[in-house]
Homo-oligomer: A and B are copies of this chain.
Amino acid sequence: MKNYLNHDEWCIIEEGFHADWNEITESIMSLGNGRMGQRGNFEEGYSGKTLPGNYVAGVYFPDKTRVGWWKNGYPNYFAKVINAANWIGIQIELEDEKLDLANCHVHEFRRTLNMKEGWLSRSFVAMLPSGKQVGVTAKRFCSLTHDEGGVIRYCIKPLNFDGKLTIMPYIDGTISNRDSNYDQKFWQEIHRETGFAEGYLHLTTVPNEYGVPQFQVVTGQKFALYKDGASFPFQALPVKQEGFVSSRIQLDVIAGEEIALIKYACNLSDQNHAREDLLAHAKTYLATMAEKGYEQLLREQIEAWAQKWQQMDIVIEGDVAAQQAIRFNLFQLSQTYTGEDDRLNIGPKGFTGEKYGGVTYWDTEAYCIPFYLSTAEPKVARNLLIYRWKQLGKAIENAEKLGFTGGAALYPMVTMNGEECHNEWEITFEEIHRNGAIAYAIYDYIRYTGDTAYLGEYGFEVLLGIARFWSQRITWSDERQQFVMLGVTGPNEYENNVNNNWYTNYIARWCLQYTLEVADQLKNTEAERYATLSQQLQLNEEAEFGRFQAIIDQLYLPESKELGVFLQQDSYLDKEQILVTDLRPEDRPLNQKWSWDRILRSPFIKQADVLQGLYFFEDEFEEATIRQNYDYYEPRTVHESSLSPCVHAILASRLGMDDKAYEMYLRTSRLDLDDYNNDTEDGLHITSMAGTWMSVVKGFGGLRVKDGQLHLSPRCPQQWQSYSFIIRFRDNILDVHVRPDGTEIENIAGDELTVWVHGENRSIPAAIVEAPEEE
């Protein structure tokens, strides 16, 4: 736990430079716009502790995966999120000295991430080894309105000397990943050119062995200079260097004079443009940006962010730390994924670090979709569903590699393009519950939006592939005279290769049921489409649906009648029955202190497992059952996954356990800001941020959708005076304000509607202002 950042409702502020924690601050102060993003690195470079990171959405390298001993069926490669060309670079020299904060006395340092307006600023006074002092103020943003571009205003003022100032705005393609094997470089130059006050670097990822197309990106820069606010003539000499584009500008400056550099940059990828047009496009793109100019782009940025906040903001009164935390979570999520592009997804580190391969985990379906459903237009969640629909073919191939047939689909645990790229057998091959979450997300989307047309268009194909997988993966046990599911890893990754994981069995059965229901529904409402699909998918209704039904009827679900709980897996009760409170502080976190085998045979649970099922399917259980399972499992759960506390927070709220809910909320919301797990320097925990949102809206707010209507059961944590959240529900946008003594709901957009509050229906009058037009 660290606590060096100022608490503020809208900003993250570092006052005074914390060099030792710079990599943490860089993670926290990351900027993005859905298409590109970078960490809070210094424009002028820095020879101290820093993890340089610039990322272009969808661009990766299929790196070798190495394991001690290869298992048959392992994926060939690990999809590495690669560091792309550094576009923020502005080298500064004062006479012969390079400005590098690692070698300066730094004072008046302040770094601010303004979440309301979507920019990062930095100001400081630096004394160089020679004694020269300069003042610098820099501000930059990744533009939401020009989402392949970013802008920097970098102002430098000599404070105690006259002399030569050299400014070299640059693009550096010679970067590498920190986690590369043998410092492998992933980029090579195709072309570079430098014009007056502009330059372009055309890079391609290096060839790979796995048939993955190479990516091409053109990174460009265009800049203007101002002296005390006015433009002036200057010379810019091109710098010739492989993989590097820069112009060198030498100025004679006098003390007190401010030189401002405005740098426009862009990253155009061949995922969005024809390769042959990349360069020309980049030139046009930057010309457009430069024409608008810095101030106009900044105004657009502030406006775009205001619109975003209008749709998702959560206001907490009486707790600045909590207020800052929830906004930080919302801000970072929104920077990572905008829902504009159905080929993209939400990487667990977003644009904030290079750890973890791939960008798509089951986090998206289980944690992020509810957030986007309530805070963005339906197309955002829909695009996330379509992303999986597009990868259905790969999911079928993936299942075939493991011996499944006839269109059975196993979605990957980790992927970029639909291919599995994780290589631990206990995860890749066995953590198959992910397939369930992907089906559940379809259900969740339709329940929330009412968009049943999605089923005939896309949903049923995915559901059938998933159901087919379960029907083959589940086998008959002569011994039990029931169907069983052997050799799985549940959401609790602290148990591997177990039999009959309750959660996996339950969601598998649910998938089969839901698939049959959807088939029935389509038959009744879209008979023709259903007939086409049946034929296309070579569906043998009698045999396949018969098997589905047999499994639904006879699937084994482990439970202990004596304890009144569902059993996480067959052998859970064979474990030593000790609790988290029995652990010594020096044993925590288990995943850093205990060997893997010890963790595996301990009763300790990494994250919600049985409880994840009770969260998903709460309507199918009595409250007493949920309570009994919560009371049994929570004391055995170490919450060592960032995805754990939010589910517990929601259930605790549901059960009226307010203190527990608040405790869990705290664990999730300031995880990165306070570097709770000592790993924020690697990047932020992006997907679990959606869980933070859930713990407020579904937890404290008690949001549910039943029979097409909105239900709330708001509870106000005693630590807060009040809180409010914005949610979009079908044609309405609502502002829900919760106080200890009651809940107000205001219609911001849309007609009158009925909302159920604590089980009582309430009519919310139509919005007074007009709803913003849909895009």
Give the interface of A toward B (CB within 8 A): 65-69, 71-74, 78, 181-182, 401-403, 422-427, 429-430, 475-480, 484, 486-487, 496-499, 570-571, 573-577, 591-601
Flag if B598 contacts A403 (CB, 8 Å). Answer: yes
Q: Which residue of B lies closest to A600 (CB)?
A: B487
Determine the distance from Cα of A760 to Cα of B433 in the docked complex, in whole angstroms: 63
Flag if A401 contacts B595 (CB, 8 Å). Answer: yes
Flag if A596 contacts B66 (CB, 8 Å). Answer: no
Q: Which residue of B lies closest to A400 (CB)?
A: B595
Flag if B69 contacts A68 (CB, 8 Å). Answer: no
Q: Which 5 A-B residue pairs are closest in the complex by CB-CB distance?
A: A73-B595, A66-B66, A429-B597, A487-B601, A71-B596
Chain B residues, CB < 8 A from A426: 497
Flag if B571 contacts A72 (CB, 8 Å). Answer: no
A556 to chain B, nearest CB (A): 9
Chain B residues, CB < 8 A from A425: 596-597, 600
Determine the distance from Cα of A269 to Cα of B498 in the docked complex, in whole angstroms: 48
Instruction: Choose among B403, B427, B497 the residue that contacts A595 (Cβ–Cβ < 8 A).
Output: B403
A27 to chain B, nearest CB (A): 21
Flag if A576 contacts B65 (CB, 8 Å). Answer: no
Flag if A69 contacts B476 (CB, 8 Å). Answer: no
Flag if A478 contacts B577 (CB, 8 Å). Answer: yes
Flag if B429 contacts A72 (CB, 8 Å). Answer: no
Q: Which residue of B lies closest to A598 (CB)?
A: B403
Known interface pairs A571-B486, A595-B429; A69-B424 also in contact (CB < 8 Å): yes
Determine the distance from Cα of A591 to Cα of B423 in the docked complex, in whole angstroms: 17
Determine the distance from Cα of A424 to Cα of B424 in the docked complex, in whole angstroms: 10
7 contacts between A and B (CB under 8 A): A66-B68, A69-B427, A72-B593, A182-B182, A402-B598, A430-B597, A496-B497
Flag if B402 contacts A597 (CB, 8 Å). Answer: yes
Determine the distance from Cα of A138 to Cα of B338 in the docked complex, in whole angstroms: 74
Determine the distance from Cα of A78 to Cα of B67 in the docked complex, in whole angstroms: 11
Instruction: Choose among B72, B427, B475, B595 the residue that contacts A72 (Cβ–Cβ < 8 A).
Output: B595
This chain: how many copies in the complex?
A: 2
A721 to chain B, nearest CB (A): 43
Determine the distance from Cα of A600 to Cα of B181 in the docked complex, in whole angstroms: 31
Chain B residues, CB < 8 A from A66: 66-68, 181
Flag if A574 contacts B68 (CB, 8 Å). Answer: no
Instruction: Choose among B68, B486, B570, B597 the residue that contacts A422 (Cβ–Cβ < 8 A).
Output: B68
Determine the distance from Cα of A573 to Cα of B479 in the docked complex, in whole angstroms: 6
Flag if A574 contacts B486 (CB, 8 Å). Answer: yes
Chain B residues, CB < 8 A from A595: 71-73, 401-403, 429
A545 to chain B, nearest CB (A): 22
Determine the distance from Cα of A78 to Cα of B593 in the docked complex, in whole angstroms: 22
Known: A71-B596, A425-B597, A426-B497. 15 other contacts (CB 8 A): A68-B78, A68-B422, A69-B424, A69-B427, A72-B595, A73-B595, A181-B181, A402-B598, A475-B601, A477-B575, A478-B577, A480-B574, A486-B571, A487-B600, A571-B571
Q: Which residue of B lies closest to A475 (CB)?
A: B576
Determine the distance from Cα of A576 to Cα of B483 in the docked complex, in whole angstroms: 10
Instruction: Choose among B182, B424, B475, B497 the residue that contacts A600 (Cβ–Cβ < 8 A).
Output: B497
Q: Which residue of B lies closest to A486 (CB)?
A: B601
Flag if A423 contacts B592 (CB, 8 Å). Answer: no
Known interface pairs A429-B596, A574-B479, A600-B497; A423-B487 also in contact (CB < 8 Å): no
A220 to chain B, nearest CB (A): 34
Determine the distance from Cα of A78 to Cα of B423 in the docked complex, in whole angstroms: 19
Instruction: Choose among B72, B486, B574 the residue that contacts A499 (Cβ–Cβ < 8 A).
Output: B574
Instruction: Choose among B68, B427, B486 the residue that contacts A575 (Cβ–Cβ < 8 A).
Output: B486
Chain B residues, CB < 8 A from A598: 73, 402-403
Chain B residues, CB < 8 A from A575: 475, 477, 486
Flag if A573 contacts B429 (CB, 8 Å). Answer: no
Chain B residues, CB < 8 A from A401: 595
A192 to chain B, nearest CB (A): 29
A484 to chain B, nearest CB (A): 5
Chain B residues, CB < 8 A from A67: 66-68, 424
Determine the distance from Cα of A65 to Cα of B595 in the docked complex, in whole angstroms: 17
Determine the distance from Cα of A577 to Cα of B78 in the docked complex, in whole angstroms: 36
Known interface pairs A402-B595, A429-B597, A595-B403; A424-B68 also in contact (CB < 8 Å): yes
Chain B residues, CB < 8 A from A78: 68
Determine the distance from Cα of A493 to Cα of B714 in the docked complex, in whole angstroms: 53
Chain B residues, CB < 8 A from A74: 596
Chain B residues, CB < 8 A from A496: 497
Chain B residues, CB < 8 A from A480: 574
Flag if B68 contacts A573 (CB, 8 Å). Answer: no
Q: Which residue of B lies closest to A422 (CB)?
A: B68
Chain B residues, CB < 8 A from A599: 72
Flag if B423 contacts A594 (CB, 8 Å). Answer: no
Chain B residues, CB < 8 A from A593: 72
Determine the distance from Cα of A600 to Cα of B69 in the docked complex, in whole angstroms: 16
Known interface pairs A497-B497, A597-B487; A72-B591 also in contact (CB < 8 Å): yes
Flag if A597 contacts B499 (CB, 8 Å). Answer: no
Q: Which residue of B lies closest to A429 (CB)?
A: B597
Flag if A478 contacts B596 (CB, 8 Å). Answer: no
Chain B residues, CB < 8 A from A422: 68
A381 to chain B, nearest CB (A): 30
Determine the distance from Cα of A498 to Cα of B495 in the docked complex, in whole angstroms: 11
Determine the distance from Cα of A412 to Cα of B599 in the docked complex, in whole angstroms: 19
Determine the distance from Cα of A596 to Cα of B599 in the docked complex, in whole angstroms: 23
Determine the distance from Cα of A430 to Cα of B601 in the docked complex, in whole angstroms: 10
Known interface pairs A68-B78, A425-B597; A574-B477 also in contact (CB < 8 Å): yes
Determine the distance from Cα of A594 to Cα of B74 in the docked complex, in whole angstroms: 11
Chain B residues, CB < 8 A from A402: 595, 597-598
Flag if A478 contacts B573 (CB, 8 Å). Answer: yes
A587 to chain B, nearest CB (A): 9
Determine the distance from Cα of A426 to Cα of B429 in the docked complex, in whole angstroms: 15
Determine the distance from Cα of A498 to Cα of B498 in the docked complex, in whole angstroms: 8
A708 to chain B, nearest CB (A): 40
**Most chain B C-beta atoms within 10 Å of own C-beta, residue among A74, A78, A422, A576:** A576
Q: Which residue of B lies closest to A597 (CB)?
A: B429
Flag if A596 contacts B73 (CB, 8 Å). Answer: yes
Determine the distance from Cα of A473 to Cα of B659 in the docked complex, in whole angstroms: 38
A234 to chain B, nearest CB (A): 47
Determine the distance from Cα of A487 to Cα of B599 in the docked complex, in whole angstroms: 10
Determine the distance from Cα of A577 to Cα of B479 in the docked complex, in whole angstroms: 10
Determine the distance from Cα of A79 to Cα of B580 in the docked complex, in whole angstroms: 38
Determine the distance from Cα of A599 to Cα of B475 in the docked complex, in whole angstroms: 14
Flag if A576 contacts B403 (CB, 8 Å). Answer: no
A685 to chain B, nearest CB (A): 17
Q: Which residue of B lies closest to A184 (CB)?
A: B182
A551 to chain B, nearest CB (A): 14
Chain B residues, CB < 8 A from A71: 595-596
Q: Which residue of B lies closest to A479 (CB)?
A: B573
Q: Which residue of B lies closest to A574 (CB)?
A: B477
Chain B residues, CB < 8 A from A591: 72
